[in-house]
Every structure is written in C-alpha cells, then in structure tokens.
C-alpha cells in the first residue's frame, strides 16, 4: 500500500536527493499470535527497505542510524522474567534509513555551502550510528493530540546532514508538523502533506512565528573559520583518537 508513496518521493527528488524514513519495531503480543508459541516482532524497517530496493530502481541505501530513545515509556516487557529463556528486549530503539536517488548533485554556490556547513562537534555527533535522543516531552505542542511525535533533534540532524540552506524539504506524512517547523528554523523551504484534518490546528501552531526557534539561523550565519577543510579533517581524526578532547 505504501510503495506508491516511496515511488512518488523518488520521482520528485532531485538527483542525489535523500529520502529519510523513521520506523519503530512493532511487537505483536502472544495473545494475538495463533501460529506459534512466542510473541512476534514486525520489523517495519526491514519490510520498507526491501520494498524500496526491490521496486524503486533509482533509490539506494546510503545510511542507517539507530535512534536510542533515552527516556522510553514506563511500559515494561517482562517476558519469562525472572527465568530463562524468553526474556524480551525493551523495544527502546527505532530505525532511521537514508536512501539516495541516483545521480550527480547540483552545483551549489560557495555562500550556500558556508551557510549550510556543520561544525566539527556537530559532524562528530550527527554521523555516529546511534543517536541518543529522548522522546518529546510536555513542551511539544502536539502532546495529547498526536500519538507518535517526532523529536525535533532527529529532524534537525537529517535536515542539516542532507540538505543545503534554501532547499525544499518534503514530508509526505506531516503529522503534527515537526518537520515543517524545523525546516523553517534551518532556513529551508517545505512542503507537507497530511490527510488527518484534526492535525491542522497543531501544524498551524508549530509553524507560527512565535514558536520558531531562531537560534539555528543565527548560528549558521555566524559560522566563520580560517582553517582549510583538510586541516579540519585532520583535527577530527585526532579527536576520534582522543575523545576526551571533545
């Protein structure tokens, strides 16, 4: 059912554009399983990945990040506790798949590159395979209105990693509008689709100027460096050898 959406995303993506998909694991309780003794986990990430790679010729898997929810819900999964052998993982992770559309990237001006560049600290943090990020708290306007709110930090990292200032960010599942809000904060344009009309009020609130954090824009404009990229890369290599220097 969802494959046509990925095909349409691929169609509108620019060459070398990125498609980012966040998916959780979906445990199926034993009470709902009548085919075998244990519970089952539906790996949505695996299903979507194979569906795209098998059916969308121009998309390739570029990166995979794991979101480690540092403040998971209070729902505890005991399994056979306290005895072996059917202990269950606590389901505190989600996957973030990054697909790339085949083709050479468009040329970008030096000014746009400088406005979009990451600091050394940001690069070191964002390119780690595991992202330790809490789920949204009561400060998020969508709490109580949407059941699966995306943390702004995840959206911010994806936008900063895979787009330039003034690029267009498309979210085919806008939900409560988190992607759209962060796109504004990071000086990107956006297009969002959402079929649930009840989310419109929350989306409008999130993209209202009074809720926009302007610090990201200011930070980007104030990035200055006298070092060459080669010198910065060497510093990063030395930092990775000596993490305490961070």
Q: What pLDDT, in 10s, does the model give residues 108-155?
A: 999 999 999 999 999 999 999 999 999 877 777 666 666 667 899 999
Provide the token pair at 100: 């790339």
Q: Give the N- to C-terminal CA distance of the chain in Å, as an integer.
A: 46
CA distances in angstroms from 5 to 21, 116, 200, listed in the order given: 12, 28, 21
Query: Has residue 212 got a pLDDT over 70?
Result: no
- How large a percentage of the chain has pLDDT more than 90? 53
Provide the token pair at 177: 């509008």
Q: Are 59 and 52 within 8 A, CB to CB? A: yes
Which CATH number describes the domain made up of 1-106?
Answer: 3.40.50.150
pTM: 0.83
pLDDT, averaged across the chain: 85
Place of tokens 């000014």: 111
Q: Do 1-106 and 108-239 show the same overall fold?
A: yes
Q: Which residues contact 45 (CB under 8 A, 6 or more apart)?
A: 21, 23, 25, 95, 97
CA distances in angstroms from 237 to 29, 139, 234, 241, listed in the order given: 46, 37, 5, 6
Q: Which residues contact 227 (CB under 8 A, 6 or more apart)?
A: 235
Q: CB neighbours (10 Å) of residue 96?
A: 18
- Domain residue limits, the chain: 1-106, 108-239
Q: Are 203 and 176 within 8 A, CB to CB? A: yes
Query: Has residue 215 got a pLDDT over 90?
Result: no
Q: What integer is the mean pLDDT of 197-206? A: 88
Record: fold of 108-239: Rossmann fold (3.40.50)
Query: Has residue 217 got a pLDDT over 80?
Result: no
Q: In this structure, what are the phi and psi dihedrals at residue 105, rounded to the nearest 5 degrees?
A: -70, 150
Write out the H or E segment, with its range, that includes residue 99. Answer: strand 93-101
**Count, residues in the chain:** 246
The C-alpha atoms of residue 102 and residue 54 are separated, in whole angstroms, by 15
In this predicted structure, what is the pLDDT of residue 18?
A: 98
């Amino acid at each position: 059912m969802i494959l046509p959406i990925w095909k349409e995303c691929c169609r509108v993506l620019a060459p070398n554009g990125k498609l980012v998909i966040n998916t959780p694991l979906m445990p199926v309780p034993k009470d709902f399983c009548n085919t075998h003794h244990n519970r089952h986990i539906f790996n949505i990430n695996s299903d979507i990945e194979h569906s795209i790679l098998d059916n969308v010729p121009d998309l390739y898997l570029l990166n995979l990040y794991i979101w480690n929810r540092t403040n998971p819900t209070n729902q505890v999964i005991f399994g056979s506790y306290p005895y072996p052998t059917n202990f269950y993982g606590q389901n505190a992770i989600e996957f973030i798949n990054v697909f790339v559309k085949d083709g050479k990237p468009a040329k970008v001006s030096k000014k746009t590159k400088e406005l979009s560049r990451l600091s050394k600290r940001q690069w070191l943090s964002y390119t780690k395979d595991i992202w330790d990020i809490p789920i949204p708290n009561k400060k998020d306007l969508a709490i109580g209105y949407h059941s699966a709110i995306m943390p702004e930090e995840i959206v911010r990292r994806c936008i900063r990693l895979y787009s330039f200032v003034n690029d267009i960010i498309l979210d085919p599942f806008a939900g409560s509008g988190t992607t759209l809000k962060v796109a504004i904060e990071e000086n990107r344009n956006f297009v969002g689709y959402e079929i649930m009309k009840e989310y419109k009020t929350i989306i409008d609130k999130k993209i209202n100027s009074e809720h926009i954090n302007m610090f990201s824009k200011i930070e980007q404009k104030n990035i200055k460096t006298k070092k060459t990229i080669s010198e910065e890369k060497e510093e990063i290599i030395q930092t990775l050898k000596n993490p305490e220097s961070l």
